[in-house]
Amino acid sequence: MDRVGIGWRRELAAGILGNLDRIDVVEVLAADYPRRELNALRSLAATVPVHVHGTDLGLASSEPADERRLSRMARVVAAIEPEAWSEHLAFVRGGGVEIGHLAAPPRSAASIDGAARNLARARAVVGCDPLVENVATLIDPPGSDMDEPAFIAAALEATGCALLLDLHNLYANATSFNWDPRAMLDAIPPARIGAVHIGGGRRLGARVLDDHLHAVPDPVYSLLAEVAARAPGPLTVILERDGRYPPMPDLLAELDRARAALRLGRARRAA
């Protein structure tokens, strides 16, 4: 059965806890939580399925992942005991310099080889494979010699991981760089889609910034229906919202729209 949930944020905690009858799954960011908060998140995981989501491991790089951050992820996963954990196919540092956010790696064999090495190390430290997520980018990644769908497909093949398919990242990149987002869905075996992110952003001229500060745009729901029409197994869909929080009913309405898109896709699949 398909599930729809939301990212845990302190600002949304009361709204989430008060509406667990309408939220099937919760995604928690990996961070240096104080013990009390970690215990609370563990209790949450006993109440509702929880995924842990990393943002700073920088696994898709020809440089090795930071061991301290891998150990922190292992501690968070061990403490919360989530259903799954995930991280981005991105790099976040290079040559000792921290970028401060997720950067799309050069789409090259070197990045794929580096991701495979780093994912193997992450698997060893954390104890299980993460889902790996496609990232949004405002720059066509320098040093690339393949397109994004080919890169993601090759990375999944090399790492053995399932995909956390971020549909707003897909929409943003396809819009910014003028390609059809369905090319990604064509390139990825649908059975490899382990979970789905939806979110919103804004235009920066001809490009789209994935800022998680706006409502999910219509094309993302259309892509979600397309994914549901292709995926053979149940999907887990998570709404990401990182600020400018609307009232909780608005966010719940976005979850309902996601459910409607899933139903539409499933009906197409059955037809």
Partner 1 sequence: MTLPALLAHLYTDAALRDEALRDPAAVAARFGVDRAVLDGIDREGLVLAAESFARKRAATARPSLWRRVRALLGRP
- What residues from 208 to 227 belong to the interface with partner 1 (CB under 8 A)? 209
Toward partner 1, which CB reaches closer, 107 or 257? 107
Closest to partner 1 by CB, 22 or 207: 207
Residue from the set 12, 74, 125, 138 that interacts with partner 1 by CB under 8 A: 138
- Which residues have CB under 8 Å from 154's CB, separation 6+? 112, 146
Q: 29: which strand partners?
A: 53
Question: Least distance in Å: CB of 99 to partner 1?
Answer: 5
| Region 83-122 residues binding partner 1, contact defined as CB under 8 A | 91, 93-101, 103, 105-106, 110
DSSP 20: G
The answer to the question of residue 247 lying near partner 1 (CB under 8 A) is no
Binding status of residue 143 toward partner 1 by CB under 8 A: yes
Please give the structure tokens belonging to residue 248: 């909780």
Distances 211 to 126, 131, 199, 241 between C-alpha atoms, Å: 28, 21, 8, 8
Which of 142, 232, 233, 234 lies at the binding interface for partner 1 (CB under 8 A)?
A: 142
Residue 167 vs residues 73, 133, 172, 193, 228: alpha-carbon distances, Å? 24, 10, 8, 11, 12
Closest to partner 1 by CB, 142 or 232: 142
How is residue 169 written in tokens?
A: 């990242």
Specify the residue, 107 or 197, whose C-beta has the smaller distance to partner 1: 107
- Torsion sign, CA atoms 146, 147, 150, 153: positive
- Comparing CB distances to partner 1, the nearer of 98 and 186 is 98
DSSP 136-166: --SS--TT--S-HHHHHHHHHHHH-PPEEEE
Q: Kindly state whether residue 157 participates in binding partner 1, applying the rule CB under 8 A.
A: no
Contacts with partner 1, residue ranges (CB under 8 A)? 61-63, 91, 93-101, 103, 105-106, 110, 137-140, 142-143, 204, 207, 209
